[in-house]
Amino acid sequence: MSLTKQTPPLRDVLYAFSLAKETPDAELLEEFARKYPEHASELTDLAIDIIIDVGSSEDVAVTNAVEPCFSPGVSRAMSRFQNRLFEVKRTEAAGPNGRRAQPASVENPFAVLDRTGFRALVKGLQANSLFVARLRDREIDVNTMSDGFRQRVANELSTPLDVVVAHFAAVAQIPPEQFYKADEKPAVKRKCSFEEAVRTSGLTEEQQQYLLGL
Amino acid sequence: MARALTKTDQNGALYTRPAMVEAAIDVAFEQDLDTLGRRAWLSDSDDSEFLPLECLVHLVREARRSYDDKAMNTLMPPLLARCEMILKSTIPHNAFPNTEQIREDILGDFSLLFVKDGSDEHPNELDYYECRFHRAFRFFRIGFLRRERALLQPLDPLPPSEVGSNSNDEEAFARVPQAFRSQSTQFGKVLQKDLVRAIDNLPPDERKAVVLRHVLGLKEESDDPSAITAATLSGVTGRTVRNRLTSAAKKLSQFK
């Protein structure tokens, strides 16, 4: 096993230096130059650029005097952003390891589960059928789920985390191939928070504590 | 609670958002998109509805990661508009022959960080912007401007000094430290900006020598081989540093 210290990428070192103080001083430059002697020259150049930049910047009061607006520059930057995003999405959707399908048909990793697989997932998550059905049907706000819980679901489904997150983030819907007891297909509901779902799904106190602790 | 950051600092510790930013994100999570969209455009930090840029970056990242196009299209324009304000105040309109284009290119390049965010190539660069947006964006802007300047000759070189070469170097540099203090009282603001600009327009080696020696206060050189000095950071001898300072002093002699 190699014990050689791994130097972080130059860009990370320079970001760290830039974030450390509003204006770099001799002490900070010396600290970083000693820690990363291979990057001392770039750190010195950055320190000088920041010092000059701070010395020549306009007053903050002047900056705040202008309200932001949807200028032609912002419009063109947005257009560039949207175009690149579109290309990336298309690549992701088309590639063999694509992260997701098009927004209108976000992959539902629960759709491949038969009843046995569904029960196994319920058991693996230490939850109950109602709670897992709410996950399947995208009824729970992904932003309120802990990272640990998302990862746990991804592990149980043997599915990449970003696919699971994309599923939870998509519009709530009831997949037509899924099973439900009523004669009519249930209506799509407003998404609830993760904690709300845990509290209102008939889970035991022990199950609730486990899920909220992930 | 917001997703934890994954970047680590030079000591190996995870970066964390300031408490103020965490609190702002928690509040934002409880608000609908219309409210957030309205708040995102506010630029007055004294406004009780003001949304810190660090928080706004977090919200756009979350929208990107969850493929929430509506949220992204609502929050990205105000984020870019506020960045454009920063660029207008930090890149004077006469700094480059194509300043408008440069500002626009910086904005466009910055927006692409959000496209790449979470990829193998750029998994978490935006973490820095959730910690201290202005300092991270300053680094981004400076890097871009450095590349741009490398393509150009100095636009506004100082005229040859009218003072002879026998001027005293220390006198020429006497006002330099004062010019870089943010709260200058005795030193006129106009003169302060002129001196900073004059230093910025020096040849790179002379500019470096002046800032290292007279702004940061480093020694020109040292007998101690482990000492960090202007000479070691410049990769030259102390004599070369002194020569560069002498040359710079002639150019800055009008500020005595």
Please tell me whether residues B66 and B117 are part of one structural domain: yes
**Sign (positive or negative) of CA dihedral A120, A125, A127, A133:** negative
- Chain B hits for A64, CB-CB cut-off 8 Å, are 43-45
Shortest CA distance from B15: residue in chain A = A16
Residue B145's closest CA among B217, B92, B191?
B92
DSSP, res A143:
G
pLDDT at site B103: 95
Whether residue B217 is contained in a domain is answered as: yes
A28 to each of A18, A21, A166, B59, how far by Cα in Å? 10, 8, 42, 32
Whether residue B8 is contained in a domain is answered as: no
Indicate yes or no: pTM above 0.95: no
Cβ pairs bridging A and B (under 8 Å) = 171
Mutate to test the interface with B, among A11, A44, A145 (most CBs of B within 10 A): A44
Please tell me whether residues B105 and B199 are part of one structural domain: no
- Chain A hits for B89, CB-CB cut-off 8 Å, are 57-58, 62-63
Whether residue B111 is contained in a domain is answered as: yes
Beta bridge partners of A192: A140
| A76:B104 CB<8 A | yes
Average confidence score pLDDT of chain B: 87
Please tell me whether residues B23 and B144 are part of one structural domain: yes
Shortest CA distance from B102: residue in chain A = A73
| B67:A26 CB<8 A | no
Please tell me whether residues B204 and B140 are part of one structural domain: no
Please tell me whether residues B27 and B146 are part of one structural domain: yes
| B112:A84 CB<8 A | yes
Instruction: Give the CATH number of the domain where residue B243 resides.
Output: 1.10.10.10
Residue A89 to chain B, least CA–CA distance (Å): 9
Residue B220 backbone dihedrals phi, psi, to 5 degrees: -65, -45
pLDDT at site B223: 93
Shortest CA distance from B63: residue in chain A = A169
**Sign (positive or negative) of CA dihedral A193, A194, A196, A202:** positive
Give the whole-number percent of chain B exceeding pLDDT 90. 63
Residue A160 to chain B, least CA–CA distance (Å): 13
Rounded to two decimals, the ipTM of the complex is 0.87
| B76:A81 CB<8 A | yes
| B216:A76 CB<8 A | no
| A67:B43 CB<8 A | yes
CB B78 within 8 A of CB A155: no
Please tell me whether residues B142 and B175 are part of one structural domain: no
Please tell me whether residues B122 and B219 are part of one structural domain: no
| A49:B78 CB<8 A | no
pLDDT at site B184: 52
Please tell me whether residues B105 and B203 are part of one structural domain: no
pLDDT band at B159 (very low <50, low <70, confident <90, very high): very low
Position B188 pLDDT exceeds 70:
no
| A64:B45 CB<8 A | yes
* First vs last C-alpha separation in chain A: 33
Domain with B249, as residue range(s), is 169-255
| B78:A68 CB<8 A | yes
Nearest to A73 among B44, B69, B103 (CB): B103
**Which residues, 6 or more positions from B174, have their beta carbon under 8 angstroms from its beta carbon?**
B256
Please tell me whether residues B238 and B189 are part of one structural domain: yes
Give the whole-number percent of chain B exceeding pLDDT 70. 86
Shortest CA distance from A14: residue in chain B = B139
Nearest to A58 among B89, B146, B180 (CB): B89
Tally of CA atoms within 13 A in the half-sphere of B12 that contains its CB:
3
Please tell me whether residues B32 and B141 are part of one structural domain: yes
- Reported as a single tens digit per residue, the pLDDT across B106-138 is 999 999 999 989 887 788 999 999 999 999 999
d(CA B112, CA B30): 28
pLDDT at site A104: 46
| A18:B208 CB<8 A | no
- As for how many domains chain B has, the answer is 2
Instruction: Give CA A209 to chain center in angstroms.
Output: 24
pLDDT at site B160: 40
Nearest to B180 among A18, A55, A142 (CB): A55
Please tell me whether residues B180 and B240 are part of one structural domain: yes
pLDDT at site B190: 66
pLDDT at site B73: 92
Shortest CA distance from A11: residue in chain B = B125
pLDDT at site B157: 47
Averaged pLDDT for residues B55-84: 94
Whether residue B156 is contained in a domain is answered as: no
CB B158 within 8 A of CB B201: yes
Whether residue B223 is contained in a domain is answered as: yes
Residue B255 to chain A, least CA–CA distance (Å): 16
Domain boundary among B150, B180, B204: B150
Whether residue B6 is contained in a domain is answered as: no
Please tell me whether residues B76 and B142 are part of one structural domain: yes
| Low-confidence residues in chain A, pLDDT < 70 | 1-5, 58-67, 95-105, 173-190
